[in-house]
Structure 1
Amino acid sequence: MTDSLKLLALMPFPDIDPVAFSLGPLAVHWYGLAYVAGIVCGWLYARQIVKQDSLWPGNRSPITLAHLDDFLVWVAIGIVLGGRLGYVLFYDFAAVSQNPVRAIEIWNGGMSFHGGFIGAVTAIILFARRNGIPVLSMLDIIAAVVPFGLLFGRIANFINGELWGRIAEVPWAVVFPTGGPFARHPSQLYEAALEGLLLLVALGALVFLAKALKRPGFVSGAFVFGYALSRIFVEFFREPDAQLGYLAFGWLTMGMLLSLPMVGLGLWLMLRTRVSTTSP
């Protein structure tokens, strides 16, 4: 492709201020709004699922609307704490070990999905046991709504011009303000489409059409498996974190490494429900 054609192929980066709006000295960022939108949309969607007893084992939901309302605080804390701790441990440990204060300097780093996942699962298990809810059923309903957060979060990454992709010559390549003069894959949008929209539709079909909630653990397994495959695929287009680079073979990234065990975990959860429902 000639240089002139490359220039014509580029998509201009949208001129969107990372700050959505300000209230006096308080600046509200799109990334923060994405977290709020993901949690609220997930909560509203989960309420609709809980109301339909016919979707659950024994035609009765083990989770009430009051449970979902109470769980909002638990999951918000789990996601934020887990996401931040995960980023520090998986992506920024060397710098934090030299300067521990950096762990709370959120402007010097971001959030890790894998850390947020662990934090959310921990919150789910603790909340379910405290309230006498089957853990797998609680995991299932949260898994069904998580793609809302992934969808909005990745769009916010794109707006912020962060976590961009590798250098590319595709017609939809974007020159990000922080990515140098090179056109790059808008990998944030790839993730929004796969981990967010596609996974939301697929899990919705399992819940409402296949009645998969009657097999506790299956929806959770499908989410974990689907997310892991999507993340591994997109990692081939996403620029690895500068402080880590490629871990091995010239292509293996931390995102891939953390997602690989999730493939096995997701398959195990789905197969486990099949065995439990067919055994005498």
Structure 2
Amino acid sequence: MVTELFGKMTSRPSPEELDPEEIEEWEHGLLCQSGEFSAAFLHYCSSTGPFKDWDQLKADFEKIHNDNPIIFWESMKADREVSELADFALTVLQMVLNTAGNERQFSKVKIRKDRLRNRLQSMKLEQSIKIVENLREHHQNDGLKVTRNARKNHSEDHVGELLQVPRYGEVLQENDENNTRSALIMNRRKWRAEMAQWKEEAQRHGEIFGNDSEAALLFRGSAIEIQVLEGGQPRRARRGAYSEEQLLMELLAQEKEDEMLDDGALEGSGDEYDGH
């Protein structure tokens, strides 16, 4: 399976400018490359050849490099016997498989094969993708492509302000490892429980200190926000019903606005025109 995957990774179309003898020599080079990879992979599986002392050196290597396999395979690239295996291992280890990468790859395939390129078969499409990705890899190795930095959604100032909130500060300062209950509100049930606690505190505050108009307004606004968070909609005021007399007056006003002048009449003439 590993040898088959290596063959798919290294398969490339032959250059068009080669003659038949050069093409045969080029294919022979690919077979030799595959044979070197297979021999190196067997040495690695059986702990022989360049890997015969690896079992004894593995513990010391992990103490120094914290079981980082990339450093190990980078050092093995200097050995000609296992250079093909080392390059293959580094390629596999440096792949980042996530949802965003898969979506980007599918988007690129959709761009390369659309309704105007329906004649592209799977083999041609595979060759096109390999060529583009090979160029992209060379550009990254040569420093021609700018490396995208990690996205940062929140600034340090906003994070500092958030941590100043007492509720979040208590969560960060909590050292009880046995307490698995989260102090943060994560669902509707916790919102309702928190709302009930706020009501009890507001009633207790009103009994002790009297009614506070500002607190009542703040409490009423919070209740509306909680209803929205729980999936409900705030209650809207019902529209007033129009009487028949109001509708008739509105209709007469609209007819008067839309009344057109007679033929030949000018604006300002008629009974209201004083002649000056």
* Band of TM-score, shorter chain: under 0.3
> Max radius of gyration: which structure?
2
Report which structure shows greater RCO (CA 8 Å, sep ≥6): 1
TM-score normalised per structure 2:
0.25
TM-score (norm 1): 0.24
